[in-house]
Chain A
């Protein structure tokens, strides 16, 4: 069975600091895709960043980057220079053939 585990239900970060959200997954497929989505309070879910499993280079999008460790099946999200607008639920997701698996989410609080 394919699974996605987010072990941190809630995290806090001081504004302008850096925070890392963890995600581990399990899949038997060799070709798959990993995503981080953000769900702000009462707003629609949007993509933060994505990674193709066959690419070793870690994806980066402005202040957001991932640490993809394929052998360890780990896909963590690092947010640098945290801003108040980063406060949201963050979901890690795995997409494989006929499979779309989301984690349980991490609620990120940003402290002013």
Chain B
């Protein structure tokens, strides 16, 4: 079974802190994603990566950056956390981009910025 893991289930940070959210997948998937999930807004794509060191902005990239140095690991970085970044963050991976392949999701990280 594909497993997507995220470094933390719950995280509390202070405004202005630099925050790292880590995601690891174990099935050699090409594609990796970061979404944020908010009530009434569904899932919104922040960034995705279709190859190592390749990244593309999603619909809401402002205030975020990403890093993919190794194929199995995709990190989301909040350079200076703000209260409006309090949310559930979901990582996902899929075998290949723009295809019939399903996305496999991690358990999510609930981030609170105080």
Which A residues lie at the B interface, using CB under 8 A? 6, 9, 33, 35, 37, 43-47, 50, 52, 91, 93, 95-98, 100-105
Contacts of B105 in A (CB 8 A): 37, 44-46
Smallest Cβ distance from A7 to chain B, in angstroms?
13
Smallest Cβ distance from A71 to chain B, in angstroms?
21
User: 13 new A-B pairs (CB below 8 Å) besides A47-B102, A100-B45, A104-B40?
Assistant: A6-B42, A37-B105, A44-B108, A46-B105, A47-B103, A93-B43, A95-B99, A97-B98, A98-B98, A100-B58, A104-B41, A104-B42, A105-B42
Can you offer 27 A-B residue contacts whose CB atoms are under 8 A?
A9-B40, A35-B103, A37-B103, A44-B105, A44-B106, A44-B107, A44-B108, A45-B92, A46-B105, A47-B102, A47-B103, A52-B100, A91-B42, A91-B43, A93-B43, A95-B98, A97-B98, A98-B56, A98-B98, A100-B33, A100-B48, A100-B103, A101-B59, A102-B35, A102-B44, A104-B42, A105-B42
Contacts of A98 in B (CB 8 A): 56, 98
Q: Which 6 A-B pairs have the closest CB atoms?
A: A104-B42, A102-B43, A45-B105, A47-B102, A102-B42, A97-B98
Within B32-87, the residues touching A (CB, 8 Å) are 33, 35, 40-45, 48, 56, 58-59
Contacts of B102 in A (CB 8 A): 35, 47, 50
Contacts of A35 in B (CB 8 A): 102-103
B21 interface contact, C-beta 8 A? no
Chain B 102-114 against A: per-residue CB contact (8 Å), 1 yes, 0 no? 1101111000000
Smallest Cβ distance from A59 to chain B, in angstroms?
11
Instruction: Name which residue of chain B comes closest to A104, CB basis.
Output: B42
* Distance of A37 Cα from B37 Cα, bound (Å): 14
Max count, chain A CB within 10 A of own CB: residue among B41, B42, B45, B105: B42
Contacts of B42 in A (CB 8 A): 6, 91, 102-105
B23 interface contact, C-beta 8 A? no
Smallest Cβ distance from B40 to chain A, in angstroms?
6
